[in-house]
Amino acid sequence: VRVMYPAFAAEEGSDAKLEDTVQLRRLRPMPPPPASAFSGSLSAGAPLEMLFEDGWWQAVLTASETAEDGKAVLVVQTVYHNQTHRIAPGEVRPCLLWHWRCDRWERAWTLGALDTHYAMLLDDEDRRVHGMDVREKKALELQARRAAKQEEVEGKRRLKEEEKEARRRAKEAEERARREARE
């Protein structure tokens, strides 16, 4: 299949876009856009993808800061290259993993999910090259469904924890305001 990469020039200084031939099994749809409040909902340790040098890189949020100009800045560390970057909140999106067995994107809520996903990809590639029987294929599909369900449960648990923390902070702020009003 012939593809064109809109982010890369065919030659330096050229308006022509880079084209290449890839195997059909290597293609996947574009991930959905992030929710408008995505970057504001992140907490330290959250896996995400950052836009850097015309590509999306898997990273982990380490801190949120305010720049000298008053704008928010996210401090992230890349997962596989261990580099720290300071980026604008608009340059991040959820860390989504393409589950080709299920034909859908799933959000990675933990770094362990990334490791599991890549191990499955390597295993799938090995099995594709060396072949597998129907029973093995069904077992792999079941494993993928279980992993997706585990990620979903983990995501819901994390959201509940974040909501609980937000309620606790709101309650503290309310109590602090009452104390200040009494003083």
pLDDT band at 28; cut points 50, 70, 90: confident
Q: Check residue 73 and give its pLDDT.
A: 93
Q: Check residue 116 and give its pLDDT.
A: 83
Amino acid (1-letter code) at residue 26: R
Contact 60, 45 (CB under 8 A): yes
Q: Can you tell me the mean pLDDT for 23-52? A: 85
Q: Check residue 134 and give its pLDDT.
A: 63
Q: Check residue 84 and give its pLDDT.
A: 95
The string of pLDDT tens digits covering residues 109-127 is: 888 888 888 788 777 777 7
DSSP state of 100: T
Residue 79 confidence (pLDDT) above 70: yes
Model-level pTM?
A: 0.61
What is the full DSSP assignment across 37-102? TTGGG--TT-EEEEEETTEEEEEEEEEEEE-TTS-EEEEEEETTT--EEEE-GGGEEE-EEEETTT
